[in-house]
Chain A
Amino acid sequence: NAGVTQTPKFRILKIGQSMTLQCTQDMNHNYMYWYRQDPGMGLKLIYYSVGAGITDKGEVPNGYNVSRSTTEDFPLRLELAAPSQTSVYFCASTSLRGEGEAFFGQGTRLTVV
Chain B
Amino acid sequence: EVQLLESGGGLVQPGESLRLSCEASEFNFVIYAMSWVRQAPGKGLEWVASLSGEGGTTYFDPYYADSVKGRFTISRDRSKNTLYLQMNSLRAEDTAVYYCAKGDWFDSWGQGTLVTVSS
B is bound to A: no
